[in-house]
């Protein structure tokens, strides 16, 4: 803990509950945390205190996270910067990286991944011992139940004729929590696992098939869609293969 105690982390977020959650999480590991509730406060803090790592939200009302990120990177080239936001799809994520984010993290995953990420960034030697096992075991375990439940909900939606799902979101393999994690660059060494490539492939197949089935239902072909949901149907097979691979990956990890 002595090494962590010497590290200073600046948490920048206009949401007080999020700041508090991050502070409690990081202080529990021995880090010293300073909070800023606005972009303006963060710019002042960066001028007056020395920090080892900064977490910053993108959407803030006065000075947004992009401006804070750009100013921080300009004045502190070596500063580790973690952009933590709920709006990291597409151009937002690319823009954050272009402006100098060390890594980006979907805010929905922060409770599980922020601390191991910080440990990795501030103490690179602990990557293989802490960051990968924590992330992989957490994400694969959650993804198993999530995708089994997702399939059941899709079948219920087709049977009832009512669905809150949007076709583009169903077809895309980077909109669910597992997809965002698989395509995030946050875990060094993650792509080296043979399970990663197979999971990525099977996850893509799952969403492709789910999108096909939902399209059938939207086009009024409910009977055909339900047939694809049967025990020997394509979506059931795709889900089973994905779940099996996720379980194998989870069991292969020694935390």
Provide the CA 138 distance to its chain's centre, in angstroms.
Answer: 12
Q: Is the predicted pLDDT of residue 188 greater than 70, yes or no?
A: no
Predicted confidence (pLDDT) at residue 131 exceeds the cutoff of 50:
no
Using the predicted structure, report yes or no on whether residue 82 has a pLDDT greater than 90.
Answer: yes
Instruction: Give 132's pLDDT tier (boundaries 50, 70, 90).
Output: low
**Range in 99-108, 113-122, 157-166, 218-227 with the lowest mean pLDDT:** 157-166
pLDDT at 2 > cutoff 80: no
pLDDT of residue 33: 92
- The residue among 255 and 214 whose pLDDT is bigger is 214
The upper half-sphere exposure of residue 39, i.e. CA atoms within 13 Å in the direction of its Cβ, equals: 16
pLDDT at 189: 54
Write down the CATH superfamily of domain 2-122: Response regulator (3.40.50.2300)
Q: Is the pLDDT of residue 23 over 80?
A: yes
Give the mean pLDDT of 81-108: 85
Residue 250 has pLDDT above 90, yes or no: no
**Local confidence band at 128 (pLDDT 50, 70, 90 cut-offs):** very low
The CB density around residue 148, as the number of other CB atoms within 10 Å, is 14
pLDDT-based confidence at 127, cuts 50/70/90?
Answer: very low
Task: Phi first, then psi: give them for residue 75, nearest 5 degrees.
Answer: -90, -25
Tell me the mean pLDDT in the region 102-122: 86
Angle in degrees, CA 104, 58, 76, rounded to 5 = 70
Report residue 35's pLDDT band, with 50, 70 and 90 as the boundaries.
very high
Domain boundaries, the chain: 2-122, 129-252
Which of residues 215 and 89 earns the better pLDDT score? 215
CATH top-level class for 129-252? mainly alpha
Q: Which residue has better confidence, 130 or 74?
A: 74
Which residues, listed in sequence order, are joined to residue 82 by a DSSP beta bridge? 55, 103
What is residue 121's predicted lDDT score, i.e. its pLDDT? 85
pLDDT at 255: 46
pLDDT at 174: 82
More confident residue, 32 or 136: 32
Average pLDDT of the residues in 155-175: 77
Query: What's the average model confidence in pLDDT over 153-166?
Result: 74
Q: Is the per-residue pLDDT at 52 higher than 60? A: yes
């Amino acid at each position: 803990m002595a090494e962590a105690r010497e590290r200073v982390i600046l948490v920048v977020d206009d949401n007080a509950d999020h700041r508090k959650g991050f502070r409690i999480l990081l202080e529990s590991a021995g880090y010293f945390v300073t909070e800023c509730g606005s972009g303006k406060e963060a710019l002042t803090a960066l001028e007056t205190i020395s920090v080892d790592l900064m977490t910053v939200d993108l959407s803030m009302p006065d000075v947004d996270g992009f401006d804070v990120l750009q100013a921080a990177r300009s004045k502190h080239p070596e500063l580790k910067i973690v952009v933590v936001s709920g709006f990291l799809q597409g151009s937002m994520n690319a823009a954050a990286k272009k402006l100098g984010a060390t890594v980006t993290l979907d805010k929905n995953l922060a409770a599980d991944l922020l601390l191991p990420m910080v440990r990795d960034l501030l103490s690179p030697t602990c990557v293989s011992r802490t960051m990968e096992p924590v992330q992989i075991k957490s994400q694969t375990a959650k993804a198993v139940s999530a995708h089994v439940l997702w399939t059941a909900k899709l079948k219920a939606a087709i049977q009832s004729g009512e669905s809150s799902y949007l076709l583009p979101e169903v077809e895309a393999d980077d909109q669910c929590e597992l997809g965002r994690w698989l395509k995030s660059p946050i875990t060094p060494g993650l792509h080296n696992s043979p399970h990663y490539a197979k999971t990525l492939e099977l996850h893509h197949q799952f969403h492709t098939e789910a999108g096909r089935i939902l399209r059938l239902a939207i086009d009024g072909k409910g009977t055909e869609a339900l047939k694809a949901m049967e025990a020997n149907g394509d979506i059931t097979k795709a889900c089973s293969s994905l779940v099996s691979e996720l379980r194998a990956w989870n069991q292969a990890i020694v935390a």
